[in-house]
Every structure is written in structure tokens, then in C-alpha cells.
Amino acid sequence: MPQRTSDSLHAAIIMDGNGRWATARGLPRVAGHRAGAEALRRTVEAAPDLGVGTLTVYAFSSDNWQRPPVEVSALMKLFHVYLRREQARCIEQGVRVSVVGRRDRLPRMLLPVIEGCEQATERGRKLHLRLAVDYSSRDAIVRAAARLKKQATRDDLSKALGGEDVDLLIRTGGEKRLSDFLLWECAYAELVFTPVMWPDFDASHLAAALAEFRSRERRFGTVPKVALG
């Protein structure tokens, strides 16, 4: 995939470790998810000044429906609260909010809140915040290919998926896998794995990940610049 020419980066984050963070403190798992929502606010506020133009975060995977119903219900309520609470702040800070993933399985009470937040923030130009909810990359690729109904090129499929190539993927919580997140878009992403649990993630951790990203040479299949000299 070609290197993006924009000065702003597309960063993606697998926000992992909420439950373990809470358990280690003797708290219910939902307390970790609430703390994770605060970490997301900190990250969104810091991202533009660190050169991030698009931020896609993995909020709820399609496989997460297999979690205990009580936890799933609490997460859906948290999404509802987060979108309503943060909408005014996003407008003020120039943050455009989009939700990617399936919507047909989400609670009906959540849908107008999603649509309202997307419409209210659509003029935001400082940062595009994409929340992946009920999201599976493999399912998204299958749906995009089915919509094309022709011999598709890479560009066709990229447009059908509706997302930019990811420059930097960060996963918190110590795990080292992609977990069905932005598989197509991350074809040439730089990967940074950190043991920091998501509720503890802040601007300094984001800055450190971006510094590591900028220290790497991105070759996109070519040979190192030294070899060309």
C-alpha cells in the first residue's frame, strides 16, 4: 500500500486491560471500563497536538458479545453515557466522531445517540475519532467485497471499507496480537505493544509510542535507504 502523504497520522489503539486493571484493585470489571473511558478522553485531548489526525479505537469487538450479559449491558450503557457526555466537548475541540462496525445488533436506545453525535460533530477538523463498536475486520472485508460485485482492485476494497491506512497501531495491556482489528488497514502499520493497562494510559504513553514510530524507517516493501546509496 502506498505511503500516505498527509502530515497527520492515522493511529489506532486496541484499548486492552480494563478488566485486569479493575480485578487487580479488587473492583468490579465495569469499574475498569469506566476508568478506560477517562483514558480515552485524555488520549483524544492529547492526540492532535502530537500529530494524530485520525484516531481509531477498538471499543467493542464482535466477539465481545460472548462476555457475561451483565458486562455487555454495562458496556452498552457506558457507550451511551460517553457519547452524550462528550458530544459538547468534541464540538468545542473540533473532534469529529464516527462509529464503525455493525449497528443492527446494538441496543435500540443507543442508535439515535450514535447518529446524533455523528451529525453534531461532523464539522470537526482537528481530529477524527472513530469508535469501533461491534466490529470485526474479517466481517468488514467480507461485506465490502460483497458490495463491490465485480473484480475489485485494492483501491476499490479500501474505499469500500471506508478507512485510511493505519500508520501506527498501539495495543495496551501486554498482549501482542491484532484480535481482528483493522487487518486490511494495518497491512503496513507500525506496531507498538505496551504493558500499560488502558485505564493508566495517558498523553505521555501516546507520545512515547509516537516517538518510537517516528524512529522507525518505513519502507513499504522497498530496500533500506542506506542500501540505495
Which residues are marked as active site?
16, 64
What's the rounded Cα separation, in Å, for the pair 35 and 31? 6
In 3D, which of 198, 196, 159, 228 has the Cα closest to residue 1? 159
Partnered with residue 11 across adjacent β-strands are 55, 168
Nearest Cα neighbor of 58 from 94, 11, 105 is 11
Rounded CA gap, 61 and 121, in Å? Answer: 24
Looking at the DSSP assignment, which residues form a beta bridge with residue 211?
A: none
Task: Of 42, 101, 47, give the one whose Cα is nearest residue 76.
Answer: 101
Grid cell, residue 185, equals 488497514
CB distance 10 to 167 below 8 Å: yes
At 225, give phi and psi (nearest 5°): -60, -35
Q: What angle do CA 101, 117, 4 make, to 5 degrees?
A: 60
Q: How far apart are CA 24 and CA 115, in angstroms?
A: 36
